[in-house]
Chain A
Amino acid sequence: MTSPILRIENLSKKYGQREVLKGVSLEVEKGDLKILIGPSGAGKSTFLHCINFLVKPDEGHVWLDNEEIHPARKRELYAYRQKVGMIFQDFNLFDHLTAFENVRIGLVKVKGIGKDAAGARAAQELERVGLKEHMQKYPSQLSGGQKQRVSIARALAMDPEVMLLDEPTSALDPELIGEVHAVIRDLGKSGMTMIMATHQIGFASSLASEIIFMEDGRILEQGTPSKIFNDPDNSRTREFCSKITDLYGER
């Protein structure tokens, strides 16, 4: 009997009067790649941010490896966040550090690993995302695709059990998307458990174990890529998928 690595129950979030998340639940098995799709404003980012409590949900529970996370217990929260890597739409690299230092700093300052060992690990992660030659560059000297790969290396260095990716290629020029997708594809092959919001449904359908369609703070439908893209039950899903196929081209 397998139990989910990550279990999310009934996450809700209000901004003022506006309910942005209306009780979202999800179970993620080890090695799953769940793809979140849905119109802008659906609550995808808020959902991902609530999973590791970068946004404090008003209600709901999260379990990792069957242990419930209590975000009010700071130590527990910091330990949990190390196990949940997060990739942001606009990279969020630390501007004052080189690519190498960006990857190393979490190992040194959060995990307390010595600088040499941490440096070796950082170099290894950067090599894995194909940036060995650019290790000493600062964020301002890197292209968008390179920045996003650094941010993936930075997250991977922490040895996460789960990765959350919030539209990792939305801020990239089209010709740079491929290099980031390649890295994510490799991650998936290596068995990483991921939840990713994206509009790139061609990429999504080739990799996803499940597609989750969100709208207006709710999950409206979830299922295999072929089910969601070819034969969805919900008319809203169908509408959205045909629109997004027009926008983002070939599947």
Chain B
Amino acid sequence: METLLYMQTDVFPALLRGFGVSIRLIVPSALVGLAIGIIVGVLRVYGNSFVKIAADLYAGLFRGIPLVIQLFIWYFGLPYFKIFLSPFAASVLGFSLCSGAYHSEYVRGALLSIKRGQMLAAESLGFSKIGMIVSIILPQAVRRALPGAGNEIIYLIKYSSLAYMITCIELTGEGKILASNSFRFTEIFLTVGACYLLMTSVAAIILAKVENHLKIPGFEQQRT
């Protein structure tokens, strides 16, 4: 009875607030990350050698350094250069850049999988290089990259919990504060866990719908 009351008056409002912050972290990070991933992926395949090296370097760096460290750098490191980010902004920046690096990997793989002959055909019709990339290559690459990119978005939902490490109090952060005050770790973290499960499930359903919407005969592939 006492537990129920505590859950109602303290836990739910706090977790709801944290849930809201998490959503506000995840949605822009997912969108910006995807945009970065597409641009960088294209550059990694079609850029000139200088651009290619720079883009590869970006992807290698941001995939190779633990995300927590990246967040620490954005939040604690940038002030040395007189750049001050709020915990929220530093988190979105960190997530977007990290996510973008992973997306670029899927986009790159998808671009490389498109048969050279189709590019010759596009060129023979008079397409410019950019026109060919936009009209012929990307629409196919998006479909091929979608399963991997979808998984990356689901990972993002889960690693968004790292934001609390730089004092951006989202779902996990609220849970941690509640738990250290009340010592009711089990109830609270079960609830937090359920919230993440809800988000990842909704994301999976949306992704499946998008994949279904974009489905074309000849592009069937199983989700990994």
Asked if A and B bind, the verdict is: yes
Are the C-beta atoms of A95 and B128 separated by less than 8 Å? no
Shortest distance from the beta carbon of A217 to any chain B beta carbon, whole Å: 21
Q: Are B140 and A54 in contact (CB under 8 A)?
A: no
Report how far A79 CA is from B124 CA in the complex, Å: 10
Interface centre among A52, A91, A95, A141 (most CB of B within 10 A): A95
Min CB distance A62 to B, Å, is 14
One of A8-16, A103-111, A126-134, A206-214 at the interface: A103-111
Q: Shortest distance in angstroms between B129's beta carbon and chain A's nearest beta carbon?
A: 9
Q: Which of A86, A90, A91, A95 is the one whose CB lies under 8 Å from B124?
A: A86
Instruction: Tell me the chain B residues, 98-113 only, with Cβ under 8 Å from chain A.
Output: none
A248 at interface by CB-CB < 8 Å? no
Chain B residues with CB under 8 Å of A139's CB are 218
A94, B121: Cβ atoms under 8 Å? yes
A73 proximal to B (CB < 8 A):
no
Which residues of the other chain, A, contact B143 by a CB distance below 8 angstroms? 96
Q: Which of B36-44, B52-60, B131-139, B163-171 contacts A (4 or more CB under 8 A)?
A: B131-139
Smallest CB–CB gap between A54 and chain B, Å?
A: 5
Among residues of A, the one whose C-beta sits closest to the C-beta of B138 is A96
Q: How many residues of B sit at the interface, in one of the four size bands?
A: 20 to 34
Q: Are A94 and B118 in contact (CB under 8 A)?
A: yes
Which of A96, A106, A138 is within 8 Å of B125, CB to CB? A106
Docked pose: A79 CA to B128 CA in angstroms: 10
Given the contacts A96-B139, A138-B217, A151 and B121 also touching, CB distance less than 8 Å: yes
Cα A155 to Cα B123 with chains together (Å): 12
- Once A95-B140, A96-B140, A96-B219 are accepted as A-B contacts, the answer to whether A79 and B126 lie under 8 Å apart by CB is yes
Give the dominant DSSP class at B's interface. Answer: helix
Docked complex Cα distance between A84 and B120 (Å): 13
Are A138 and B218 in contact (CB-based, < 8 A)?
yes
**Chain B residues near A88 (CB-CB < 8 A):** 117, 120-121
Report yes or no: B218 in contact with A85, Cβ–Cβ below 8 A: no
B-chain residues with CB within 8 Å of residue A151 when the two chains form the complex: 121
Please give the distance in Å from B95's CB to the nearest CB on chain A.
30
Knowing A52-B124, A96-B143 touch, does A109 contact B135 (C-beta < 8 A)? yes
A49 CA to B124 CA, complexed, in Å? 9
Closest to B217 in A: A138
Most buried by A among B124, B139, B143: B124
Q: In the assembled complex, how far is the CB of residue B118 from the closest CB belonging to chain A, in whole angstroms?
A: 5
B5 at the interface (CB under 8 A from A): no
Give chain A residues whose Cβ lies under 8 Å from the Cβ of B122: 94
- Do A92 and B117 touch (CB < 8 A)? yes
Report the minimum CB–CB distance from B218 to chain A (whole Å). Answer: 3
Pair A95/B118 contact, Cβ less than 8 Å: yes
Q: Does B216 contact A (CB under 8 A)?
A: yes
Most buried by A among B122, B140, B143: B122
Minimum CB–CB distance for A18 against chain B, Å: 20
Asked if B136 and A94 make an inter-chain contact with CB atoms under 8 angstroms apart, the answer reads yes
Q: Does B127 make an interface contact (CB < 8 A)? A: yes
The reply to whether B219 and A81 contact each other, CB–CB distance below 8 Å, is no
Which residue, A85, A94, A105, A140, has most C-beta atoms of chain B within 10 A? A94
> Could you tell me the distance in whole angstroms from the C-beta of B130 to the nearest C-beta in chain A?
11
Alpha-carbon gap, A91 to B117, bound state (A) = 8
- Least CB distance from A51 to B in Å reads 10
- Interface check A82, CB cutoff 8 A: yes
Measured CB to CB, the closest approach of chain B to A174, in angstroms, equals 23
Supply 8 A–B pairs (Cβ within 8 Å), ascending by A: A52-B124, A84-B124, A92-B121, A94-B118, A94-B140, A95-B218, A109-B135, A151-B121
Chain B residues close to A by CB (< 8 Å): 115, 117-118, 120-128, 131, 135-136, 139-140, 143, 216-219
Q: Kindly list the 3 A-B residue pairs having the minimum CB-CB distance in the complex, ordered from nearest.
A: A140-B218, A86-B124, A92-B121
Beyond the given pairs A85-B124, A86-B121, 16 more chain A to chain B contacts, judged by CB atoms under 8 angstroms and listed by A's residue number, are A82-B126, A88-B121, A92-B115, A94-B121, A94-B122, A95-B115, A95-B140, A106-B126, A109-B127, A109-B131, A110-B125, A110-B126, A138-B216, A151-B121, A154-B121, A154-B125
